[in-house]
Structure 1
Amino acid sequence: MSETKYRQVWNLDSLFIGGSESSQLLDHIRHLEIEISEFEEKTNSFNVPQKINESINVAILIDYIGDIRTNISQANSFITCLLAQNPKDRQAIILQGKITTINTRFEFTLKKVKNTLVKIDYHLWECLLNTDVLTNYKFILNEWREDVETNLSDEEQNLLSDLMVDGYHAWGQFYNSFMNNIMIKVQINGEQKNLSVGQAINLRSHPSEEVRKESHYALEDTWKENAELFAKILNHIAGFRLQVYKKHGLDNVIQESLIKNRMKEKTLDAMWSVISKFKDPFADYLNQKAKINGHKKMKSFNFWAPITTENQKIEYEDAVNFVLEHFGEFGTELEKFSRKAFSEGWIEAEDRANKSAVAFCSGFPLSKESRVFMTFGGTITDVLTLAHELGHAFHNEAMKSIHGMNKQYPMCIAETASTFSEMIILDVAIQKAKSTNEKLFLLDEKLKRSVMNFMNIHSRFLFEKKFYEERKEGIVSSSRLNEIMQEAIDEGYDGSLDNPSLHSWVWTPHYYITQSPFYNFPYSFGYLFALSLFAKAKEKGKGFEKSYLNLLRNSGSMCTEDLVMKHLGEDITSEAFWKKGIELCIKDVDEFIKLTSS
């Protein structure tokens, strides 16, 4: 039987033929503009409902909102893919600007709808939500009523929307464009190579410490050269955001992210409290690995270093087969979906220069597809990235029949399906390891995930919180940003990391995402939540997949605490929930130290 070959370059023409010059895409954008205009007209004539039979008027607006969101997402995802595969695609950059303008018009009009709905008499509001045409949107509509942005007048909202296009989102887009065009000069075996940021970062897991170190310092030199520019971008993004908060009367810089994650601050505090209490075992892991590498303390450029020479190079075809095989052991739907993604060209994995540095998954809700973007370098880390992004795609698949109003799930849940998919691969691979070295290699990769979520992500959270507090008082210099980063890393890693990248604030793209501040703690949440889901999956076997799909489908129409209570029966405001997840990871540390000591 001949081996199956998997293409490494995705198929975008099945979405819109012709890339950034696509006439289909232009038609789609023109249709969007017409739809937005109709939505604006409907909104302008929409008055505060006075009777229960006016629920149909609200339902009509909801249909517009769902359709427009779907169409914007379809176009925006396509343009994101174009710029990822070719950051210098000028036409795609122009189209991105158009979609940003359209989305700003949409969000502004949506705010007007919210402002009208919030004026409805409370008793009538409850009656409206229980009508047949609105009951499925009860959670979202109640969320709208509590939207903090409704404090602004229409005039203020209009001004804010105009400013966001060129004075806010533009900074985030400039960051991505600038980062994607940076080339890193790295000496490998005496030969100088020009690499993209993504390719240079991939060298973190190179088997040679000399190469890892060379790449680390080449990247650091680049960040130092451009530190002032990046500091300006970051300060402008934060400054704009803080002005918006001031208009809304918000003083807590974390509040917006909590609202977007549909999470209580009590939940976040419980999670970080438990993580802070249980850092010693993971510091022990880092110290043990440093000792193996011949150092007293873990060098940052050695963190991703392979612990053994097992499985150093994995061919793409083997990686795909590996993922499909182990997905199949969890559930038939996940395996079937993933096979479809590979066979229909949904994956871009080719290792080449001039690509974006960031792996991602984009959903296309109109055509009910996804696209996965990454650079496959042949390591187990790349296999895990592939599984991670396929998890995101599977979440999109689960949501494809859900109305556009209920599709938007919070960031913390967005990282659950992806992390869950990673765990499937790692857990089964460790069980099937054919030697101690292979088991140790995989166990090390699993523990890296724990350190990233309990230490690295914590340091990112600490940095961002401190930075925003200081930004309230004025511009924060690049040198001060380095100092804040050092303080955050020392606390986040419990002092167990040597020679860290103090310019992490430059190359961590999450700090520059204008749509979502504090895009860090959702990863830790998703990781620990996925651990709980995975424990349930192992207990129930393939029968768990149906429950898992239901959880994913509910993820856009429930608050996070209620979602977990409904599907796991757990109170996530309690430290006890988070402790159970971390204790599972501590067992991995014990096993790692046992194997490496012997």
Structure 2
Amino acid sequence: MAQFVSVPPLSPLSARLPEGGASVPPAAEAPAPGDLPTWDLGDLYTGPDDPRLTDDLDAAARAADAFREGHVERVGALSGADLGKAVAEFERISETLYRVMSYAQLLHAGDQTDADIGRFYQGVQERVTDISARMLFFTLELNQLDDDALAGRMEAPEAGHYASWIRDLRVFRDHQLPEAMERLLHEKDVAGRSAWVRLFDETLAHLRFDIDGRPHTMTEALDQLSDRDRSRRETAARAIGAGLNANSRLFAHITNTLAKDKQIEDQWRNYAHPMAPRNLANQVEDAVVDALVTAVRESYAETSHRYYTMKAKWFGLDTLATWDRNAPLPDAEDRRFSWDEARGVVLDAYGAFSPRLADLGRRFFDNAWIDVPPRPGKASGAFAHPTVPSAHPYLLLNFMGRTRDVMTLAHELGHGVHQLLAAPKGVLMADTPLTLAETASVFGEMLTFRAMLDAETDPRRRRTMLVGKVEDMLNTVVRQIAFHEFERRVHTERRDGALSEERLNTLWMDVQRESLGPAFDFDDGYRVFWAYIPHFVHTPFYVYAYAFGDCLVNSLYAVHQSGTVPNFQDAYLEMLAAGGTLRHRDLLAPFGLDAGDPGFWRRGLDVLKGFIDELEQVA
């Protein structure tokens, strides 16, 4: 979809990768779905046939027509006060469209195999695209104003209120196309990129993996990769590999089509490299991202390679198989958390840091804002969707009771709290760049982990917890940068022609060998595991934001522990409440941090290295 008028992304904010759990195996069966809460989308609409939904779309269409009639080819002549009023009307109409689209996305995420829901989702997407296309001129004409003319208008408080949104809009100035071309791209998206994304999602949702004679969903199969029994892990891994391989031609075609689509648009928009639009949207300089990627890749030997070599020794193996990556330790204590236990652990950790943080988090449990149980057809992984400021966020989980599921709850709840705090900024300015959007989520995980670790006195259980944290950090930092490198290579090579399934497999294995190291013996089935990663399809170059957030939070948490920033909790909540109004340098300045400092990322990685050092000592 064209970048100047947007509806909520198909992949909701903060989508967390579906992975095998952390290194704590099950003691009992996962919580029964009937015992777990589901969300109530009635705060948006009561159902696809809700008359309010139809009325909202009709009203938005009329308002968009009136907005166009009143402002097209006249934005440059607006006074500062009138420009501010125009942006406010643009925001009001956009919020209505966001509300409708959010409802359709959440309904579809709840069951991606229901044909009726699929048709409803497609229909809403087409209608919203048609309406928003009528307002596309507005952001384009805004960007045509020269800096001096705009500066004068921004002195009016009505326009000045939207200064940060206009600032961020204008970073795309040099990359916008004439309105007719922008509108064509925008309207064709529903039959182009969005259609391919939906095909990917629904294909994954329909896949079943034969394990021990019973069909398993992707969520169930991935969960078994953390089983205590190595043979069960192997069975699951081979089933996943076989299932993905059977559909690899389709997944390769989707990947090639979307990469080519991006290449064409990037060329027309004159972007220097495939990551450029994502970096601009994230409000982060190319040099900062390059420094992050370089620091993580240079750390492989001291982080992932060292840790997995140690893990192989714990298992009495010369090398690990891919299905051992998230395996529980041989002497790990069996543990499954009930939903009530998980909720208590996370809210207690949040409350120990800030009672207000816990109060905000508690709202998600006191209301039906979380969809918890795994079920056939439901989107795998986890996410937090902000919806619109006039409503509230929703969280989607696939809770299996593992320690990693508790950390996923802490992660997504962090996003949800962040979105609540930023909501007063309004629909145009509440949204946070992906790099900073991961701050609250990873910080919530760190609070929860530290609370659990500090409360544990048994050395064996403490080691198990440290192992779980290290593996989560490796999945968040090392694995995501490896994913980023895979994407970079795919998009670079795609410029010279379509990549075969085998070439995609080769690129995947190259980055996996580089990142995971010599401790692994890679089986053939693992070669096609790139095919299930939703971020590659939904949001190209999303994944480095996880590593950005993890390293940033490590530094931020160190400042908290040092006590050098008075009223740290208040400053932290104020940072979250800023939404998208401030850049990363301004947000981090009160904490004495600068992501542009070459040493910033190394300091963040030192926390991971320190945990591995501790494991070496206790081993």
- Rounded to whole Å, the distance in 2 between the matches of 1:19 and 1:133 is 37
The code of the aligned residue for 1:306 comes to: P
**Which residue does 1:354 correspond to in 2?**
377
Partner of 2:296: 275
Relative to 1, partners in 2 of residues 1:81 and 1:34: Cα closer, same or farther, differing over 3 Å? Answer: same
Cα separation, 2, equivalents of 1:278 and 1:88:
41
Q: Which amino acid aligns with 1:23?
A: P
Task: Specify the code of the residue in structure 1 equivalent to 2:145.
Answer: I
Q: 1:375 aligns with which of 392, 395, 398?
A: 398
Distance 1:324 1:7 in 2: 20
Residue in 2 that maps onto 1:285: 307
CA offsets, 1:427-484, max 9 Å, x none? 1111111311211111111101221133211111111111111111111111110011
Q: Does 1:127 align with 2:149?
A: no
Matched, 1:321 2:344: yes
Tell me the CA shift for residue 45 of structure 1.
5.5
Map of 2:316 onto structure 1: 294
The answer for the alignment partner of 2:586 in structure 1 is 562
Question: Aligned to 2:52, what secondary structure does the other structure show?
Answer: helix
Partner Cα separation in structure 2 for residue 120 and residue 474 of structure 1: 39
CA-based RMSD: 2.2
Partner of 2:393, secondary structure, is: strand
Given that 1:362 and 1:371 are in contact with CA atoms closer than 8 Å, whether structure 2 keeps it comes out as yes
Residues 490-521 of structure 1: per-residue CA shift (max 9 Å, x gap)? 222344433262223201000111xx320110
Inter-partner Cα distance in structure 2 for 1:469 and 1:107: 32
Q: Paired residue for 1:407, among 430, 441, 446?
A: 430
Deviations 1:9-45 (Å, cap 9, x if unpaired)?
3232532454333333333333333333333333325
> Which residue, 28, 37, 48 being the options, matches 2:56?
28
Distance 1:291 1:335 in 2: 41
CA displacement, residues 292-349 of structure 1 (integer Å, 9 cap, x when unaligned): 1232223221121122432422222111111111111111112112222112121211
Q: What's 1:146 paired with?
A: 171
Q: In structure 1, which of residues 3, 9, 12 is the aligned counterpart of residue 40 of structure 2?
A: 12
Matches within 5 A, 1:42-61: 42-44=70-72, 46-49=74-77, 54-61=79-86
CA contact under 8 A between 1:456 and 1:492: conserved in structure 2?
yes
Query: Counterparts of 1:353 and 1:158 in 2: how far apart (Å)?
Result: 37
Query: Would the alpha carbon gap of residues 146 and 376 (structure 1) be closer, same or farther in structure 2, given more than 3 Å must change?
Result: closer
Identity %: 21
Give runs of aligned pairs for residues 377-392 of structure 1, distance below 5 A: 377-392=400-415
Query: What is the CA–CA distance in structure 2 between the aligned matches of 1:354 and 1:115, rounded to whole Å?
Result: 39
Q: Is there any run of 5+ residues in structure 1 with no aligned partner, and where?
A: 1-5
Q: 2:219 aligns with which of 198, 216, 222?
A: 198
Q: Which of 126, 129, 133 pairs up with 1:101?
A: 126
Matches within 5 A, 1:186-585: 186-187=211-212, 192-282=213-303, 283-307=305-329, 308-499=331-522, 501-513=526-538, 516-540=539-563, 543-564=567-588, 566-585=589-608
2:321 and 2:165 map into 1 onto residues whose CA distance is 47
Q: Quick check: 2:373–2:398 contact (8 Å CA) kept in 1?
A: yes
The answer on whether the counterparts of 2:432 and 2:579 sit within 8 Å (CA) in structure 1 is yes
Paired position in structure 2 for 1:3: none
Following the alignment from structure 2 to structure 1, what is the Cα–Cα distance between the partners of residues 384 and 368?
Answer: 13
Question: 95, 108, 112: which is aligned to 2:137?
Answer: 112
**Displacement of 1:242:** 0.7
Structure 2: how far apart are the matches of 1:148 and 1:124? Answer: 15
**Range with bigger deviation, 167-176 or 37-46:** 37-46
Taking structure 1 as reference, are residues 41 and 504 closer, same or farther at Cα in structure 2, changes over 3 Å only?
farther
Moved more, 176-185 or 462-471: 176-185
**Distance apart, 1:49 and its partner CA:** 2.4
| Aligned-partner Cα distance in 2 for 1:311–1:31 | 56
**Other structure's SS at 2:596 match:** coil
SS in structure 2 of the partner of residue 98 of structure 1:
helix
CA distance in 2, matches of 1:300, 1:499: 6
Greater RCO, 1 or 2 (C-alpha within 8 Å, sep 6+): 2
Letter in 1 for 2:152: C
Correspondent of 1:63 among 63, 79, 88 = 88
State the TM-score, normalizing by the size of structure 2: 0.89
Superposed displacement of residue 105, structure 1: 4.0
Structure 1 residues 91-127: Cα deviation after superposition (integer angstroms, max 9, x where no partner):
3323322332344346545542233223324322111
| Aligned partner of residue 527 in structure 2, secondary structure | coil
After TM superposition, the structure 1 stretch with the greater mean CA deviation from structure 2, 492-501 or 359-368, is 492-501
Cα distance between partner residues in 2 of 1:237 and 1:221? 24
- Structure 2 residues without counterparts, runs of 5 or longer: 1-33
Q: Go from structure 1 to structure 2 and tell me whether the alpha carbon gap of 1:534 and 1:73 turns closer, same or farther (over 3 Å shift).
A: farther
Among 12, 15, 39, which residue is 2:67 paired with? 39
Q: Tell me the SS of whatever aligns to 1:185.
A: strand
SS at match of 2:400: coil
Give the 3 Å change call, closer, same or farther, for CA 246–290 of structure 1 in structure 2.
Answer: same
TM superposition shift of 1:150: 5.0
The residue identity in structure 2 corresponding to 1:481 is L
Q: Give the aligned length.
A: 582
